[in-house]
Amino acid sequence: MAEIVLEHLKKTYPDGTEAVADADFTIEDGEFFILVGPSGCGNSTLLNMIVGLEDITDGKLLVGGEVMNGVDPKDRNMAMVFQSYAIYPHLTVRDNIAFPLKIRKMSKEEITKRVDDAAETLELTEILDKKPGNLSGGQRQRVAMGRAIVRDPTVWLMDEPLSNLDAKLRVQTRGQIASLQDRTGVTTVYVTHDQTEALTLGDRVAVMRKGRVQQVGTPRDLYNLPANLFVAGFIGSPAMNILPAEVKEGRIILPMGEAEMPADLKDRYKGGEGRVLVGIRPEQYEDITFVDESIRGEGLTFTATIDSLEWLGSEVFAYFKIDAASASELDELADDLSDLFSDAHEETRTGTARLDISTKAAEGEQLDMWLDARRIQLFDRETGDNLSLTRS
């Protein structure tokens, strides 16, 4: 087990492409740490720098207090699980798992013990004599994990290990990975482009975009207090609603009405009066029928036309129109902040609400709705930074 310290790590390729810029954070000993972001964000490159498959252009990498810059991958005592499984088709499950131990020339007794223990942990005991061609995708991935486990590494590194599995197997294997890491306590760095995996697996998460770390925090912190518009849009499904607004005399003026700025937000707000962007999570909207009258004054009530509904059994998502003037302004904002919105939002005209399952909302009809103003986020129109984190 080991603490991993990244001190201003940078990776620049010979053609000048900057794949990773100034990655500077610490992964605690025994932590399950996630690197997440859209395709091309640099998270796989950063993972490869940790394991030694990519050279470090600048900065320092320490594992367990020892500098790893220039250390050969085989000497780092790390185990890697790849997206493609990377198991040998001509070998049995037992021989695949045992392979790295045979390379180390361990005794047969020790190899047998380690393989049997890993197989029991991963529920592979009954298929140890089968070959990969006779296994499901989930079983193959567990074989790859077993080969990593038997090495008894100080660090596990996983590069999108679930991306080749179907939805049901992803959920099942995700639970197995979480349980395994919890039992062993091995420091784990896990790369994914799926923010659901990031939020459900990680003790902490680093959100990356175009080679730069946007924010490091717990899943709860990233969801409730995103550092900027990109994190706000990337974390959460459906994505956060982004609306133009104005702060004036302690009130927030939105396209659908205005509300008093909550006292807690006033304490944290770093901006002055003027135009801002407001972030609203889908669950902050509700059918007014299900809102207790005692809290209605802490938000604002408005009427919306429901474009479409998605019924998911345990919840309902409602998509509703924003009036034409507001939509026009949002189009301008999407152009002004295209670099931020391109990854975070494809559609800025439509609001998304997560409603009570008993709502009577119907497509094409109007619905009286309530917006909970107590949890809104305020963002700078120019930089996209969250203005409601702390008061400077």
Check which CATH number belongs to the domain holding 147 and give it. Answer: 3.40.50.300
What pTM does this model have?
Answer: 0.85
CB-based burial label for 45 (10 Å; 0-12, 13-18, 19+): buried
**Kind and range of the H or E run holding 279:** strand 274-280
Alpha helix stretches (DSSP H) within 185-321:
195-201, 219-224, 229-234, 263-268
CA distances 155 to 28, 59, 346, Å, are 11, 20, 37
Quick check: is 390 in a domain?
Answer: no
- Provide the pairing of β-strand 241-248 with 274-280: antiparallel
366 shares a domain with 260? yes
The answer on 246 and 316 residing in a single domain is yes
Dihedral angle sign, alpha carbons of residues 336, 339, 342, 345: negative
3-state class (DSSP) for residue 271: coil
Per-residue tokens: 76? 């780092």
Is 182 within the bounds of a domain? yes
Residue 23, domain member (yes or no): yes
Structural domain ending residue among the three candidates 179, 194, 229: 229
Asked whether residue 351 is assigned to any structural domain, the reply reads: yes
Contact at 8 Å (CB) between 13 and 19? yes
Inter-residue contact 29 to 23 (CB < 8 Å) = no
Same domain, 289 and 209: no
DSSP letter at 386 equals B
Give the count of domains, the chain.
2
Q: Please identify, among 178, 202, 229, the residue that sits at the C-terminal boundary of a domain.
A: 229
Per-residue pLDDT of the chain (392 residues; tens, 9 = 90+): 689 999 999 999 999 999 999 999 999 999 999 999 998 999 999 999 999 999 999 999 999 999 999 999 988 989 888 877 778 889 999 999 999 888 888 899 999 999 998 888 888 899 999 998 888 887 888 888 888 888 888 999 999 888 877 777 788 778 888 888 888 889 999 999 988 899 999 999 999 999 999 999 999 999 999 999 899 989 988 888 988 899 999 899 998 899 999 888 888 888 888 999 999 999 999 999 999 999 998 999 999 999 999 998 888 999 998 753 444 444 554 454 445 544 444 444 578 999 999 999 999 999 999 999 998 999 998 888 999 876 44
Residues 144 and 255 grouped into a single domain? no
Q: Domain residues for 364?
A: 239-379
Q: Are residues 43 and 16 in the same domain?
A: yes
Task: Give the largest Cα separation in the chain, rounded.
Answer: 76
Report residue 378 as tokens: 């305020």
Q: Work out the angle at residue 217's Cα, subtended by the Cα atoms of residues 215 and 223, and round it to the nearest 5 degrees.
A: 85
Cβ neighbours, 10 Å, residue 11: 22
